[in-house]
Structure 1
């Protein structure tokens, strides 16, 4: 082999070696780049792993915090529920107490009123008659206070359930005008009513109570001018305004006047005692009915109470039953059972003054011995709650069985529960709540004797 040939071979080998080195360098570069990328990816994955761990810890902490809040809220709800149940129990307990206390208080009040009426029927002087009138007004105030407190308690306890129906406002306003027109006239005030030809959906007794309290309140604090009760249609509603020209109500008292026993520092124009319960009854009755109640007033210019009621369609007039005129009680035979001795004696005196003949006893057996089987009563008056858990309706049933099932009967009670009323009505008896108003009792007895 020549020298030139060897040199060519060596050069080729060097070139081949250089190409191989270059290739190895490229391979090495590619491998290094891949290693670097792999390291970067591992770093990123580690960072993501660390971030995930951090987020998981935060989520766990927030979950535990939320769970604690939910448990706290659950405990609060349980406490609120327990407090609500306790308040309802207290309300029911208060209502039961007031009902029992009212019954016990109305019993002697009933006897006092009956005795006072008997005294008023006697031939006494003008001064004695004036004292009788003062005592009677005091008894009426006590009676109103007891009954109003009981009504407030029943409204708070939800025991009074409204019975809404279509009402003709002309009839409702006429009743209010008849009740308060004479009082307004005596004070030199005008009482105007403008019912329009409007009908509303409401509970008759609750609506009358609202309007009567508002009108009474207006007359009490009005010295000149008068009180207006007006109704106007407002779309699907009827707006009733009770407007007076009285002393007005300061802004600071706008909410307080609806609280019990709050008189707002105002004095009635004639010194009449205000119990501070009328507007409390108004608010509670309006809430029970779902009627919106608002007040607008200016001191020295008067006040306007507004009531919004759902409008109703007019109904066909109902036939009016003619009322029998009351007759004298002279000679009427009356069987009386009353466990309260004072009330029994007062009733006996009343019937004696009315020229009626009464056989009165405190229990069933005593009345049986008095009446026997020959003396037949024309009418029966029975107290519902007698001693020993006895019921006056049992005596009524016995008298009707012995002397005839059509004897009219009046049941008296200080218990205003609907169960007692339903029991009395089912027995075909008239119900009179204590304290008994002698004039109303006399008119009712005369009416029953006329029908008999």
Structure 2
């Protein structure tokens, strides 16, 4: 075989190898393209699947939001219904409770023996506990529902402290405790009634859980804020009870010796009332040494404080008697009517009664008898209202006879209507001593 022939063979081998290599590369490229095609299909399927999952999740989230809104609306409606129910229930329950208060007061004046007076006092204490519970539950319900509208103005702390001292000093002396108030000229921006209730509940707790030593109430200025402190030498509050003491029906831990009776609602309503007024409330405590509650409120000017002081002085009722007073009593609840008549007659008043507006007018049509004062329930027979009936009687008599609405209806609308018509108002159940003082004030 010649050299040329050998060279041709080698050249053919190289060409063949090059062709094979090219074919292999082409096949590899096709394989890679197919692989990329498969990968793209898989990715597209994955994206589609994830998109469907995301849409499904969004639909579930939207439905959850709708359910949450519906649940919130249902809860708000239930809360409003609860408030209305408690208001209505308290009105119905307070009616017989009011009659019981009045009857027990009249019964107490008939007792000549120690045993009888002791039993009467026990019944009175039970009625007072029931009244406190009902009123506090209603107050908490109204505060939670946001229907309480504070009447904010200048409140003199000195007058407030003086009133609280008068109320709590007998209890402190009975327990052998020292109760002191540091006088102050400061006034705060608050609702006098709600602020008094807050301090009253804190003081009541302080005296309840203090066995020796005493309680000190004072105020100090911090810039534009007044901090009211109520300090006691009681058993103190453990750190793990800081939030629990503000919960409903919490009466302290027996293990720490803190349980001392009561309803366990005092501090629960303190926090709610402070929140409604925009006041901050907190405390510091050392177990075994005592507790200091802090209440912060905005400072007001001296001019506003002097105006409030003048108003308080005008509101203090003088102590006049009721002998011979002619009373027109308008009440449609028979037990309350009988109890109130008995009580007024024990005070040597002359009483005429009616159950609605027509009877009230009829009682005066003879012209031989005119009342010195009118006492009326708000909700009477025939759908009559006490405020309207008083207006009718005044028109008949031609003069503005002193008048008092006594009602268990907790709505603020009645209070506004009574105030606009120059009518005093008391909430049921009525405390006889307060009723007698207010009647004497109106007659004076």
Mapped to 1, the partners of 2:71 and 2:110 lie a distance apart of 57
Quote the residue 1:19 is aligned against.
Answer: none
Mapped to 2, the partners of 1:232 and 1:62 lie a distance apart of 64
Quote the residue 2:354 is aligned against.
Answer: 361
For 1:428-447, list aligned pairs within 5 A: 428-447=422-441
Q: Alpha carbons of 1:71 and 1:173: their partners in 2 closer, same or farther (altered >3 Å)?
A: farther
Unaligned runs of 5+ in 1: 1-40
The answer to which of 200-209 and 133-142 deviates more is 200-209
- Secondary structure, counterpart of 2:435 in structure 1: helix
Quote the residue 1:122 is aligned against.
Answer: 110
- Secondary structure, counterpart of 1:315 in structure 2: helix
Q: Alpha carbons of 1:237 and 1:56: their partners in 2 closer, same or farther (altered >3 Å)?
A: farther
Q: Alpha carbons of 1:69 and 1:240: their partners in 2 closer, same or farther (altered >3 Å)?
A: farther
Structure 1 residue corresponding to 2:218, chosen from 225, 230, 243: 230
The answer to which of 74-83 and 348-357 deviates more is 74-83
Q: Alpha carbons of 1:49 and 1:258: their partners in 2 closer, same or farther (altered >3 Å)?
A: same
Quote the residue 2:344 is aligned against.
Answer: 351
Unaligned runs of 5+ in 2: 1-28
- Secondary structure, counterpart of 1:118 in structure 2: helix
For 1:117-156, list aligned pairs within 5 A: 117-122=105-110, 124-156=112-144
- Secondary structure, counterpart of 1:442 in structure 2: helix
Q: Number of residue pairs matched?
A: 417
1:95 aligns with 2:88: no
Mapped to 2, the partners of 1:362 and 1:299 lie a distance apart of 57
Mapped to 2, the partners of 1:66 and 1:308 lie a distance apart of 51
How far 1:135 sits from its partner (Å)? Answer: 1.6
Give yes or no for contact 1:168–1:314 (8 Å, CA) kept in 2.
Answer: no
Quote the residue 2:15 is aligned against.
Answer: none
1:372 aligns with 2:360: no
For 1:156-195, list aligned pairs within 5 A: 156-194=144-182
Quote the residue 1:281 is aligned against.
Answer: 269
Give yes or no for contact 2:253–2:259 (8 Å, CA) kept in 1.
Answer: no
Give yes or no for contact 1:222–1:269 (8 Å, CA) kept in 2.
Answer: no
Structure 2 residue corresponding to 1:409, chosen from 394, 399, 403: 403
* Larger gyration radius, structure 1 or structure 2: 1
Give yes or no for contact 1:221–1:268 (8 Å, CA) kept in 2.
Answer: no
Mapped to 1, the partners of 2:239 and 2:386 lie a distance apart of 53
Give yes or no for contact 1:220–1:269 (8 Å, CA) kept in 2.
Answer: no
Give yes or no for contact 1:373–1:402 (8 Å, CA) kept in 2.
Answer: no
How far 1:198 sits from its partner (Å)? Answer: 3.4
1:68 aligns with 2:56: yes
How far 1:409 sits from its partner (Å)? Answer: 0.9
Mapped to 2, the partners of 1:100 and 1:330 lie a distance apart of 36
Alignment TM-score, normalising by the size of structure 1: 0.82
- Secondary structure, counterpart of 1:380 in structure 2: strand
1:342 aligns with 2:335: yes
The answer to which of 264-273 and 193-202 deviates more is 264-273
How far 1:330 sits from its partner (Å)? Answer: 1.5
Give yes or no for contact 2:376–2:406 (8 Å, CA) kept in 1.
Answer: yes
Mapped to 2, the partners of 1:166 and 1:51 lie a distance apart of 78
Mapped to 2, the partners of 1:131 and 1:71 lie a distance apart of 68
Q: Alpha carbons of 1:48 and 1:162: their partners in 2 closer, same or farther (altered >3 Å)?
A: farther
For 1:235-246, list aligned pairs within 5 A: 235-246=223-234
Mapped to 1, the partners of 2:58 and 2:380 lie a distance apart of 56
Give yes or no for contact 1:268–1:274 (8 Å, CA) kept in 2.
Answer: no
Quote the residue 1:28 is aligned against.
Answer: none
1:421 aligns with 2:432: no
Q: Alpha carbons of 1:401 and 1:165: their partners in 2 closer, same or farther (altered >3 Å)?
A: closer
How far 1:313 sits from its partner (Å)? Answer: 3.7
1:307 aligns with 2:295: yes
Q: Alpha carbons of 1:55 and 1:102: their partners in 2 closer, same or farther (altered >3 Å)?
A: same
Quote the residue 2:286 is aligned against.
Answer: 298
How far 1:131 sits from its partner (Å)? Answer: 2.2
